[in-house]
């Protein structure tokens, strides 16, 4: 791992399942590490458990559980995917997440921030205290919805919970609409108008995309239209106007 100080801590969230949180997190991690060639950590906070173990063939012994216990040995518990991209798999037991103390997470985050320029966090649908603590440290939160009205209503409620219940700054939360099809009656500006939230952009529904492409290695990933679309979102100012909260 190279010495650096994290400039981007981005959390991908949604209280709607299957909207593409994990796919977006991994594509963003690949983009930062490969295109920008910056040391990047993909940090899994989905303890339901999440998909990283299966997608990246990670040994169950090397998870967030050990990294929280021995933060100074973080490099032993991450899996290196390419020269700039490391992956930290989440806790394997959803109940264990409830017992992680804020101080424990922050000690690990201190080590993470010293070692990576970018940290991309994939979260789970059900909010827990570990996710809230991570969001309080994030510089940008991408709130993901698909273009269905029920998903849209859910994420507006989620936004309220985050900002009014947990005092997460509105300024760092942007809406991202995934799986948009041309048949959808909502246009991008409708989402912005109805929600009153800044919309980061949308990702089209790609009928040939499946997140298992991430298990196939970097050349397959870079060929996918989904990866290019996520790259465009990043290039088109993912970080414009992001206040320095840390
Ligand atoms: N833009 C897209 N076009 C087509 N399929 C997509 C798109 N984005 C994601 N998918 C597919 O949708 C499914 C769910 O994606 P993903 O697992 O990333 O969502 P998630 O929000 O992380 O789900 P969960 O709530 O279970 O963690 C996957 O099969 C993925 O390949
Ligand atoms: Mg997921």
Model confidence pLDDT, tens digit, residues 116-147? 999 999 999 999 999 999 999 999 999 999 98
| Calpha distance 165→176 (Å, rounded) | 22
Please give the residue that has the higher pLDDT: either 198 or 162: 162
Instruction: Identify residues whose C-beta is under 5 A from ligand 2, the ion.
Output: 21-22
Query: Distance from the CA of 164 to the center of ligand 2, in angstroms?
Result: 25
Please give the residue that has the higher pLDDT: either 235 or 241: 235
Predicted confidence at residue 237, as pLDDT, reads 67
> Using only C-alpha atoms, what is the Rg of the chain?
17
Cα torsion 151, 157, 161, 162 to 10°: value is 50
Predicted confidence at residue 244, as pLDDT, reads 41
Predicted confidence at residue 238, as pLDDT, reads 65
pLDDT beyond 90 at 40: yes
Could you identify the residue written with the tokens 């993470």? 112
- Mean pLDDT check: name the lowest of 32-46, 54-68, 72-86, 208-222: 208-222
Half-sphere exposure of 49 (CA within 13 A, CB side): 17
pLDDT beyond 50 at 241: no
Half-sphere exposure of 207 (CA within 13 A, CB side): 2
Arithmetic mean of pLDDT over the chain: 89
Local confidence band at 177 (pLDDT 50, 70, 90 cut-offs): very high
| Calpha distance 18→140 (Å, rounded) | 21
Tens digit of each residue's pLDDT (9 = 90 or more) over 20-37: 999 999 999 999 998 889
- Measured from the Cα of 203, ligand 1's closest atom is 1
Domain 8-229 has CATH 2.60.260.20: no
Give the sign of the dihedral formed by CA 148, CA 150, CA 156, CA 159.
negative
Q: What is the mean pLDDT of residues 180-197?
A: 78
Give the sign of the dihedral formed by CA 56, CA 59, CA 63, CA 67.
negative
Q: Which ligand is nearest to the CA of 203?
A: 1
Local confidence band at 82 (pLDDT 50, 70, 90 cut-offs): confident
- Provide φ and ψ at 11, rounded to 5°: -110, 135
- Mean pLDDT check: name the lowest of 2-11, 27-36, 98-107, 124-133: 2-11
Residue 28, Cβ density class (10 Å: 0-12 exposed, 13-18 middle, ≥19 buried): buried
Q: Which of 218, 7, 31 is nearest to 115 (CA)?
A: 7
Q: Which two tokens stand for residue 70?
A: 């021995």
| Calpha distance 46→122 (Å, rounded) | 6
Please give the residue that has the higher pLDDT: either 223 or 64: 64
The answer for 167, left when phi > 0, alpha when psi is -120 to 50, beta otherwise, is left
Q: What is the mean pLDDT of residues 102-120?
A: 96
Q: What is the mean pLDDT of residues 208-224?
A: 86
| Calpha distance 243→144 (Å, rounded) | 20
Predicted confidence at residue 198, as pLDDT, reads 81
Prediction pTM value: 0.93
- Measured from the Cα of 229, ligand 1's closest atom is 1
| Calpha distance 97→113 (Å, rounded) | 21
| Calpha distance 45→13 (Å, rounded) | 10
Pocket of ligand 1 (CB under 6 A): 14, 17-23, 46, 125, 178-179, 203, 205-206, 209-211, 226
Q: Which two tokens stand for residue 158?
A: 């989620």
| Calpha distance 186→180 (Å, rounded) | 9
pLDDT beyond 80 at 245: no
């Amino acid at each position: 791992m190279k010495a650096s100080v994290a400039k981007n801590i981005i959390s991908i969230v949604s209280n709607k399942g299957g909207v593409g949180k994990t796919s977006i997190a991994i594509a963003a991690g690949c983009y930062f590490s490969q295109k920008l060639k910056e040391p990047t950590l993909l940090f899994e906070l989905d303890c339901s458990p999440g998909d990283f173990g299966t997608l990246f063939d990670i040994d169950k012994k090397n998870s967030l559980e050990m990294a929280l216990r021995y933060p100074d040995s973080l490099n032993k518990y991450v899996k290196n995917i390419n020269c700039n991209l490391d992956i930290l798999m989440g806790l394997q037991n959803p109940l264990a997440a409830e017992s992680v103390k804020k101080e424990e997470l922050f000690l690990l985050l201190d080590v993470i921030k010293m070692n990576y320029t970018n940290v991309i966090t994939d979260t789970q649908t059900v909010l827990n205290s570990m996710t809230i603590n991570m969001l309080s440290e994030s510089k940008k939160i991408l709130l993901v919805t698909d273009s269905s009205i029920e998903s849209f209503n859910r994420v507006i409620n989620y936004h309220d919970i985050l900002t009014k219940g947990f005092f997460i700054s509105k300024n760092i939360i942007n809406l991202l609409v995934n799986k948009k099809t041309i048949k959808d009656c909502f246009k991008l500006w409708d989402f912005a108008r109805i929600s009153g939230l800044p919309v980061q952009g949308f990702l089209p529904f790609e009928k040939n995309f499946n997140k298992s492409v991430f298990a196939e290695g970097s050349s397959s990933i870079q060929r996918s239209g989904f990866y290019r679309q996520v790259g465009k979102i990043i290039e088109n100012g993912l970080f414009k106007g992001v206040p320095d909260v840390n």
